[in-house]
Amino acid sequence: MRFSIDSHAEQLPRLLRLFLEIVGREPWEKRARDIVTQLTQVPVLRDILVERHQIEIEFARLLTEIQDTGRVVTKVDGQGRYELFAFIATVARVFERLSTTGQKRLRGMLRDGLRSEMGLLPLQHEMTVAVHLRSRGFNVEFQDMEGRGGSDYLARRGSVEVQVECKMVSGDIGRMLHRRAVAQQFWTIMRAVAVVRLKERGYFLRVSIPGRLQRNEEMQSGIADLVRRAVEDGSPFESNILCSVSMQTFDPAGTRFDSGNLKSLTQELARDFVKTRFGVDGGHILNWLAPGRPIVVVCLQSEQEDEMLDAILNTLKRSAKTQFSASLPAILAVQLHDLTEDALLELAGSDTTDPKMATGLQLMTSRFFNSTSGANILAVAYRAHGKFEQRVRRSINEETTTSSAGGAAYLFRNHTHPLGTDAAYNVFGIR
């Protein structure tokens, strides 16, 4: 399949109409209502919902603008709007080129995404990889979407043929404390402590759970009740089968938690304060800050270590075993959600050939290539969301604005593969 990867303002109305026809307005409007409901019930979920559902939120804003103005506002005013327009354009162009089977499958993927907690991120990742392949001159066959089985894409360019499988890896994978569960737990704690008459100016509570934090009401309410009891009784230590709570009081005057500094307080600064003042490193930090009220700082930790790299390794192995044919070289394109482009570039900058200095990601990927399932994999490309950029070109008669968000890739090539050093297969660049 060949499709254009460039979009112009005058093309967007047609692409938007085609895009809307795929599943209709109702699923999009329902998703928007669900997001508003979640924000109303648990306001601290805001950052997570915006990260995971930016496309849906932006689309709801776009539909409102169309209803208010009677036209499609094609101005790109930030990364969210750019990613929405890029998603609309790619999905619409792919959809009109798919067979009936492929269209049915893509329609189902959109509907499923509009119901899932990860939203449309996995589909967005697939579309972004397809655009990248086209930008490298490949003809892209949508193998999985067309019901042929195997990898997501078969990419061809001249004599080069390569299988490409897309995987979205959540930042929660292998972690004992998932961000959404943590946000809900903090909200439950805030409501429980709100009814207590606080006697001190500042409270630091370290909440330690033995294993994985669950999202069920019984566990979260039990933890919140123990925190409330510790604050109410002024007890330095409380514990039950769910968790242990240690409490210390402090005077926030002159610290980052002084009421005059609340607006400039970031999670990083709060984490540094907790480490320096109380000797507690890591975990998730909740700052309950309000002018004129005592400061409550909660650090939530698990006694069990995260298993993130092992979980990613298992994901790679499963994909290698089930998604690829042994007759063609294969590439895994892995989107590391919650990892910024700067963080990915910093990780790549730590790359080394010294095993003693290698990062965990390097060592894990090396283990994968050396495994039976990874032997036929030509490369693994770890990707992050790109930074939004706009460039303005001015001439005597016109002004042209170009928007883009390429995104970095941290590429690992399997040098034991027969094509491991073949430049013709540099699909995601050279490492």
- Say if residues 298 and 213 touch (Cβ distance below 8 Å): no
> What is the per-residue pLDDT for 260?
58
pLDDT digits (tens, 9 = 90+) for 134-147: 989 999 999 999 99
Region of poorest pLDDT, from 89-103, 254-268, 362-376? 254-268
Radius of gyration, CA atoms only, the chain: 25
Alpha helices of 24-78 — where are they, by DSSP H? 26-41, 46-52, 54-69
- Say if residues 316 and 174 touch (Cβ distance below 8 Å): no
Burial class (CB in 10 A: 0-12, 13-18, 19+), 373: middle
β-pairing, 295-302 vs 202-209, is parallel
Region of poorest pLDDT, from 210-219, 314-323, 385-394, 416-425? 385-394
Across residues 390-418, what is the average pLDDT?
68
Instruction: Using pLDDT thresholds of 50, 70 and 90, give the confidence band for residue 172.
Output: confident
Instruction: Using pLDDT thresholds of 50, 70 and 90, give the confidence band for residue 429.
Output: low
Percent of the chain with pLDDT over 90: 46
Answer whether residue 263 shows pLDDT above 70: no
Answer whether residue 95 shows pLDDT above 90: yes
Residue that is written with structure tokens 């449309």 in the block: 120
Answer whether residue 404 shows pLDDT above 90: no
- Say if residues 330 and 154 touch (Cβ distance below 8 Å): no
pLDDT digits (tens, 9 = 90+) for 241-251: 999 999 999 88
Answer whether residue 370 shows pLDDT above 60: yes
3-state secondary structure of 46: helix
Partners of 392 in the β-ladder: 401
Positive or negative, the CA dihedral 42, 385, 24, 116 is negative
> What is the per-residue pLDDT for 293?
77
3-state secondary structure of 92: helix
Instruction: Using pLDDT thresholds of 50, 70 and 90, give the confidence band for residue 430.
Output: very low
Answer whether residue 206 shows pLDDT above 90: yes
Answer whether residue 431 shows pLDDT above 50: no
Instruction: Using pLDDT thresholds of 50, 70 and 90, give the confidence band for residue 187.
Output: very high
User: What backbone torsions phi and psi does residue 17 show, to the nearest 5 degrees?
Assistant: -60, -45
- The DSSP secondary structure of 312-351, one letter per residue, reads HHHHHHHHHHHS--TTS-EEEEEEETT--HHHHHHHHHT-
Answer whether residue 224 shows pLDDT above 90: yes
Q: Which residue has the higher pLDDT, 290 or 187?
A: 187
Please give the model's pTM, rounded to 2 decimal places.
0.85
Count of CB atoms within 10 A of residue 12's CB?
18
Sequence-separated (6 or more) residues with CB below 8 Å from residue 145: 98, 102, 105, 106, 109, 152
Across residues 72-86, what is the average pLDDT?
85
> What is the per-residue pLDDT for 22?
97
Name, of 40-54, 137-151, 228-242, the range with top average pLDDT.
Answer: 137-151
Region of poorest pLDDT, from 23-32, 262-271, 295-304, 421-430? 262-271
Across residues 396-408, what is the average pLDDT?
56
Answer whether residue 71 shows pLDDT above 90: no
What is the domain partition of the chain in residue ranges? 1-119, 120-171+306-431, 179-302
Region of poorest pLDDT, from 75-79, 114-118, 255-259? 255-259
Q: How far apart are the first and last CA of the chain?
A: 28
> What is the per-residue pLDDT for 92?
96
Instruction: Using pLDDT thresholds of 50, 70 and 90, give the confidence band for residue 395.
Output: low
pLDDT digits (tens, 9 = 90+) for 6-20: 777 788 999 999 999
> What is the per-residue pLDDT for 348?
65
Across residues 81-85, what is the average pLDDT?
91
> What is the per-residue pLDDT for 391?
65
Determine the Cα–Cα distance for residues 39 and 120; give it in Å rounded to an integer: 19
Answer whether residue 332 shows pLDDT above 50: yes
Count of CB atoms within 10 A of residue 358's CB?
16
User: For residue 17, what are the CA distances in angstroms to 36, 66, 92, 94, 315?
Assistant: 25, 12, 9, 14, 37
Q: Which amino acid is at 5?
A: I
What integer best gives the mean pLDDT of the chain?
86
Torsion of CA 343, 349, 350, 353, to 10 degrees: 140
> What is the per-residue pLDDT for 93?
95
Sequence-separated (6 or more) residues with CB below 8 Å from residue 25: 63
Across residues 358-384, what is the average pLDDT?
88
Look at residues 369, 389, 275 and name the one whose alpha carbon lies nearest to residue 320: 369
Q: Which amino acid is at 147?
A: G
Number of H helices, E strands in the chain: 13, 13
Order of strands across the sheet with 139-142? 139-142, 153-157, 160-169, 330-336, 377-383, 409-413
